[in-house]
Amino acid sequence: MNIDRRRSAGAGRWRLRTATGVALAAVGLLATAVPAATAAPEPDPLDPANFELRPDDQGDAVRDAVARLDAELPRVTVSDVLAEANRTAEHDADGACNAGAIDDDDADELPDVAESFCFQSGDDDVRYWYPQGVTTAADAQGGQLAGPEQAILVSWYDHEVTNGPTEEEEHENGIEKGVRITFLDKQTNAYRHVLLAYPVIDDNGAPSYRSVLTGQDKSLHAGGIVWYGDFLYVADTAAGFRVFDMRHIYDLGAASNGTTEDPDKIGRHDGTYHGHGYRYVMPQVAAWEVTAAQGTRCSAEDEAMVFSYVSLDRSTPDHHLIAGEYCDQNQEVAGRAAAWRLADSLDDRGEQITDPSHLWRADEVHRLEPTNVQGALRVDGRWYLSKTNGPHEAGENDNSVLYLTERDPGEVLAPAAQEPAPVGAEDLALWPTADGGHDVWSVSEYPGGRMVYSLHVAAQR
């Protein structure tokens, strides 16, 4: 269902927040001025050691388990997965396909959605899976075309239903399925889910895998993802990044020793491989963990960063991962963000470094001025930040906000401009466009109002 655009005239025209926004207005991006934030006392500089990463100590064991799984199960490519897509998204080429993703009752200005895809009803309204991260073929390969399939990927985590769960939801609450990735083909609107897995050697000495979980045996939140070459980087909230590999996608439907019949089982059971009913399974191949000790999340103490979301910056010769932490308005600080040079995580063959003595250091660190940030992008020295205002609530403008900083903003990422975004905005990804600008892609997370969408930004000077 398309939304009523009666108040969307002028949407996509960014509102100024500071005098520096005048420079952005000069390129036709901005309009009405809004108040700047009150200046706060200058904090101490951030300690780069709190953003330092290293490979975890399971790298060799994981690599060995994946090699043994390769010998057990048939592998397929991303193209194969898309060719076997079993679901169809609704597509709106110039607007929002889900009215539930837009608060048009309490907002004076509506998000100017450039393009959108909406999931089938079983995915749009399911309460035990929540979408979080987004990345695209433009991240993977660069450029406007970015490969033949024009794919968009979305991460979902297994969410516990606590508000009046149905019998089905109660059953699902008892099973931690971890993380799944939606592979959506922009050209056909078809999509399919792929289950992520953690490879192990079982008690019988056979290669197997389990759900992707945290150290507390809960499903990984997977708040952000980046597809870069063959690798899929997934944000691991309390640790850093998990890494998966597109060269190792297993087809349980085509495997003589695989099955898709039992949604309650994962891994090898009596010689047969299961994937919670999913046909395709992709195992972890590496992990990066923060070296600093974990402190109190979002406290004024500068301690190890939380990894809530991740994106890719291809606008510099040295490509970077961008990550940051979510802190709400009731916590002591608004959060931090940082950038890591991707080449520093790879060996001479372009494979993941697994030596735990290797250090991957951030080369840019920032404090955030806005709270409730669910995604961040950096392009040509400017940062985009997505701020969520929660789910629909009567009498409140619940549309999210997309902020843009000035170029090279300094340690504090303070917005210079803003525009409205759909309700429940999450992770961000960038796709260059033919006009020299780019589309900023995101996904809205709440049941009944889910939508993969882009906001277009014209070329900037």
> Is residue 309 included in any domain, yes or no?
yes
pLDDT score for 1: 42
- 269 contacts: CB under 8 Å, gap ≥ 6: none
> Is 3 within a domain?
no
Per-residue pLDDT, 25: 44
Inter-residue contact 240 to 304 (CB < 8 Å): no
State the pLDDT at residue 12: 45
Strands (E), 240-395: 240-245, 249-251, 266-269, 272-275, 280-290, 309-313, 320-324, 336-341, 362-368, 373-379, 382-387
Structure-block tokens of residue 307: 């990894």
Which of 57, 107, 91, 451 minimizes the C-alpha distance to 286?
57
Are residues 366 and 337 in contact, defined by beta-carbon separation less than 8 angstroms?
A: yes
**Predicted pLDDT at 33:** 42
CA distance 33 to 400: 18
pLDDT digits (tens, 9 = 90+) for 51-69: 999 999 999 999 999 999 9
Through-space distance between the first and last CA atoms of the chain, rounded to whole angstroms: 36
In a domain, 205, yes or no: yes
Report how far apart, in Å, the C-alpha atoms of 289 and of each of 52, 90, 210, 435 are.
Answer: 8, 38, 20, 39
User: Which pLDDT value is given to residue 4?
Assistant: 41
The pLDDT value recorded for residue 299 is: 87
pLDDT of residue 32: 36
Q: What is the pLDDT of residue 241?
A: 98
pLDDT of residue 459: 77
449 within domain boundaries: yes
Beta bridge partners of 240: 236, 289
Could you tell me if residue 2 is inside a domain?
Answer: no
CB atoms within 10 A of CB 179: 29
| Res 7: pLDDT | 39
In a domain, 6, yes or no: no
373, 335 in Cβ contact below 8 A?
yes
**Cα 78 to Cα 230: distance, rounded to the nearest angstrom:** 10
What region does 107 belong to: left with phi over 0, alpha with psi -120 to 50, or beta? beta
Q: Which domain, by its residues, includes 419? A: 14-457
Residues of the chain with confidence (pLDDT) below 70: 1-42, 143-149, 460-461
Distance of CA 18 to the CA centre of its chain: 29
Q: What is the domain count for the chain? A: 1
Which residue, 99, 43, 76, is CA-closest to 449? 99
